[in-house]
Amino acid sequence: MGLEKEKSDTSIIMDEDEFNRSIEPILSKQGKVYAAAQDRDPNDINAHLKVGFEDVIAEPISTHSFDRVWIGSHAAFELVKFMFYRLLTTLLAVPMAFILGLVFGVLSCIHIWLVMPVIQSFMMVLPSVQIVWRSLTDMFVTPLFHSMGKALSSIQVWCWTDSGFTQPKDGQTSLISAKL
């Protein structure tokens, strides 16, 4: 399947007498369009090799009726389809619905009796925890960071250049010295 680069013109040319708007088909006026097929076995030498539709279907000779074959096969198909539907519904859908109902019930029970009480308990205790956390922060964390800030504020950064020590500029290597 490639890209076609050539454009082709298509047109239909009909005479006015051929194009009529009546119900009868156009081919009925023209008669037979195709020639009859040539008989390839005029002497009937291969008569024993000819197989008809009745031979394949194996319908009794007394009832050469195509309708009975199709009606019977359609009825058998509908019956088999109905029975398989019933069987699959019984074997698959009913147990699956039962199992999913049990799972939904267990999850609802866990949500109602475990998850929601735990969340409500945390929400009730939260103000007390906030007060205790704030006091722990004021007692331990604030003094620790205050003392670390005082200790680290005495550190100065200097750069070594050819002319000696200077304040560091962007991209220069620096040395760290502390005042003691």
Express each pLDDT in 104-142 by its tens digit. Answer: 999 999 999 999 999 999 999 999 999 999 999 999 999
Percent of the chain scored above 70 by pLDDT? 58
**What's the confidence (pLDDT) of residue 124?**
95
Q: Which residues contact 161 (CB under 8 A, 6 or more apart)?
A: 172
What local confidence, expressed as pLDDT, does residue 81 receive? 87
* 158 phi and psi angles, rounded to 5 deg: -130, 155
